[in-house]
């Protein structure tokens, strides 16, 4: 659970922005499980850009741009954006500051090796090889031309990733988001990078991206080399985009485990678009119920929770949602997470969707069952589900007490109850959710 700079700042994140968000996280969200800050693309780019991957002229950037690299071709923070990185210190100082606050630091990388290192034939640390010898210049990313892929048949290719990871481990980095790995699916690059992470001497979380309707047939391989993997393209603040995630998460739900997690992307909530790829500076366009739906769905599906808005300037009502302790508990301490029901309701424009999950021993509600009753239509509607369809057979409905999980933060909008026939019922607002715990009655 954490914050990512992309939705709000695109490629223009800097040290002041990071520290402002870190202070807010420490003061308001750390106690609720939010503890990681991830700098997305552009931290090694001296140019302050507007519009994400595009500069002010509207041209895609990458080829020809001069980035900050060390003598071995490894990306270094631009000291104008990150003054504490001056004199080759990298992110050592910034990481230490965050660690002192009880927080973690991560950043974004692209697959492969910088074109600039290849053009300059920079040496690969600890070897007799140079960057131009290990690059596969036919392997490029269609939306970002920073890097070439690697020729994994060359022994220097693994040495390159090993060198990168040694440096970033020495800085104290905790989290890496590595892009252009999965669409198309670069099996050998994922394996090489994953090996470098394992061998770097520091425990780092490896998040692979982007998704693009990922096949579940990759799951065993992904668990071997990564910690999470995106299952969709970039998500932005529109209801149709959010609605699409239901089916993707339902498909991956049976595979979610502590061995690795399918990731439905960042949460485009709060103040976003300040200097980003999509849209203007705005408080995210999802309504209150849609924001509740997103947070609840991500949690019930055990997806990564990475907030995309600028924390200090996001709407207080949005930030209050992040203080819901159920988000951490359900994401971290549930099993058997499943879409238990999806039914199109004739005569309406919506589906009733019900998710269920069992708690584990680490939960604050051991022995409970979580249920989320979603309604995707444009008018309020009563969503129903047999209690035994949520709790499993062998339990009488009278054995459960209902607790609304949005009540603690003031966002409960529909009272759930069990009728005489053992049916859980709740009137749900448009695009909304009623999220409950069914606690065993002593």
Phi, psi of 338 (to 5 degrees): -155, 150
Residue 215 CB contacts under 8 Å (≥ 6 apart), including other chains? none
pLDDT in tens, 341-397: 999 999 999 999 999 999 998 999 999 999 999 999 999 999 999 999 999 877 787
Looking at residue 61, its pLDDT comes to 44
Phi-psi region of 112 (alpha: psi -120 to 50; beta: other; left: phi over 0): left
Give the distance, in angstroms, between the CA of residue 422 and the centroid of all CA atoms in the same chain: 37
CB–CB of 327/305 below 8 Å? yes
User: Between 239-252 and 288-300, two packed helices, what is the crossing angle to 10 degrees?
Assistant: 10
Distance CA 321, CA 305 (A): 13
User: Residue 259 pLDDT > 70, yes or no?
Assistant: yes
User: Residue 85 pLDDT > 50, yes or no?
Assistant: yes
The confidence band for 66, taking pLDDT boundaries of 50, 70 and 90, is confident
375: β partners: 352, 432
CA nearest neighbour of 337 among 401, 256, 418, 427: 256
Least confident span in 78-87, 217-226, 386-395: 386-395
Looking at residue 100, its pLDDT comes to 99
Ordered by start, the domain boundaries in the chain are 2-332, 336-440
CA nearest neighbour of 230 among 200, 190, 192: 190
Looking at residue 28, its pLDDT comes to 99
Looking at residue 47, its pLDDT comes to 79
Distance CA 433, CA 297 (A): 9
Distance CA 195, CA 327 (A): 31
Mean pLDDT of 247-263: 97
Determine how many CB atoms are found less than 10 A away from the CB of residue 405: 26
Buried b (16+ CB within 10 A) or exposed e, 316-329: eebbebbbbebbbb
| Protein fold of 2-332 | TIM Barrel (3.20.20)
Looking at residue 56, its pLDDT comes to 40
Q: What is the dihedral of CA 132, 135, 140, 141, to 10 degrees?
A: -110
Distance CA 355, CA 332 (A): 16
pLDDT in tens, 141-188: 999 989 999 999 999 999 999 999 999 999 999 999 999 999 999 999
pLDDT in tens, 15-57: 999 999 999 999 999 999 999 999 999 999 987 665 555 554 4
Looking at residue 49, its pLDDT comes to 62
Q: How far is CA 28 from CA 31, 95, 110, 230, 291, in A?
A: 7, 20, 32, 28, 19
Mean pLDDT of 55-68: 57
Find the distance separating the first CA and the last CA of the chain, reported in whole Å: 33
Mean pLDDT of 65-72: 91
Looking at residue 195, its pLDDT comes to 99
Looking at residue 361, its pLDDT comes to 87
User: Residue 60 pLDDT > 50, yes or no?
Assistant: no
Tell me whether the CATH fold assigned to 2-332 matches the one assigned to 336-440: no
Phi, psi of 48 (to 5 degrees): -90, 115
Looking at residue 439, its pLDDT comes to 93
pLDDT in tens, 293-341: 999 999 999 999 999 999 999 999 999 999 999 999 999 999 999 999 9
CB–CB of 380/373 below 8 Å? no
Q: How many helices (H) and strands (E) does the chain have?
A: 13, 21
Determine how many CB atoms are found less than 10 A away from the CB of residue 395: 16
CB–CB of 150/189 below 8 Å? yes
Distance CA 85, CA 342 (A): 51
CB–CB of 329/299 below 8 Å? no
Looking at residue 58, its pLDDT comes to 43
Average pLDDT, the chain: 94
User: Residue 75 pLDDT > 80, yes or no?
Assistant: yes
336-440, which class in CATH? mainly beta
Buried b (16+ CB within 10 A) or exposed e, 368-389: bbbbbbbbbbeeebebbbbbeb
CA nearest neighbour of 197 among 146, 189, 90: 189
């Amino acid at each position: 659970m954490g914050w990512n700079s992309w939705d709000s700042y695109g490629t223009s994140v800097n040290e002041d922005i990071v520290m402002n968000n870190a202070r807010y996280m420490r003061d308001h969200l750390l106690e609720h499980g939010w503890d990681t800050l991830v700098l997305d693309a552009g931290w090694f780019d001296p140019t302050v850009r507007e519009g994400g991957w595009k500069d002010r002229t509207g041209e895609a950037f990458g080829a020809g741009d001069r980035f900050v690299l060390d003598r071995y071709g490894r990306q270094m923070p631009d000291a104008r954006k990150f003054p504490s990185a001056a004199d080759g210190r990298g992110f050592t100082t910034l990481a230490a500051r965050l660690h002192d606050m009880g927080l973690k630091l991560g950043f974004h990388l692209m697959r492969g090796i910088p074109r600039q290192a290849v053009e300059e034939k920079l040496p690969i640390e600890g070897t007799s090889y140079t960057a131009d010898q290990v690059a596969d210049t036919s392997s490029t990313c269609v939306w970002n031309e920073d890097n070439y892929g690697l020729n994994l048949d060359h022994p220097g290719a693994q040495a390159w990733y090993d060198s990168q990871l040694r440096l970033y481990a020495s800085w104290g980095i905790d989290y890496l988001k590595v892009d252009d790995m999965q669409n198309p699916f670069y099996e050998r690059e994922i394996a090489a990078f994953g090996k470098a992470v394992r061998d770097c001497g520091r425990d780092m979380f490896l998040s692979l991206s982007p998704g693009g309707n990922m096949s579940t047939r990759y799951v065993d391989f992904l668990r071997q080399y990564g910690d999470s993997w995106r299952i969709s393209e970039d998500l932005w603040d529109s209801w149709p985009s959010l609605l699409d995630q239901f089916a993707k998460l339902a498909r991956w739900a049976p595979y979610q485990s502590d061995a690795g997690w399918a990731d439905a992307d960042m949460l485009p909530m709060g103040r976003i678009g300040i200097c980003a790829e999509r849209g203007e500076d705005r408080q995210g366009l999802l309504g209150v119920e849609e924001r509740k739906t997103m947070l609840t769905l991500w949690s019930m599906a055990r997806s990564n929770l990475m907030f995309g808005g600028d924390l200090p300037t996001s709407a207080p009502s949005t930030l209050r949602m992040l203080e819901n302790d159920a988000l951490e508990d359900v994401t971290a301490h549930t099993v058997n997470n499943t879409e238990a029901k999806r039914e199109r309701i004739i005569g309406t424009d919506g589906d009733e969707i019900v998710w269920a999950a069992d708690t584990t021993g680490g939960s604050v509600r051991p022995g409970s069952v979580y249920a989320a009753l979603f309604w995707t239509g444009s008018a309020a509607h009563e969503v129903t589900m047999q209690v035994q369809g949520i709790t499993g057979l062998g339990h009488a409905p009278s054995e459960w007490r209902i607790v609304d999980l949005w009540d603690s933060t003031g966002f409960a909008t529909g009272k759930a109850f069990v009728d005489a026939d053992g049916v859980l019922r709740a009137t749900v607002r448009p695009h909304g959710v009623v999220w409950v715990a069914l606690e065993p009655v002593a």
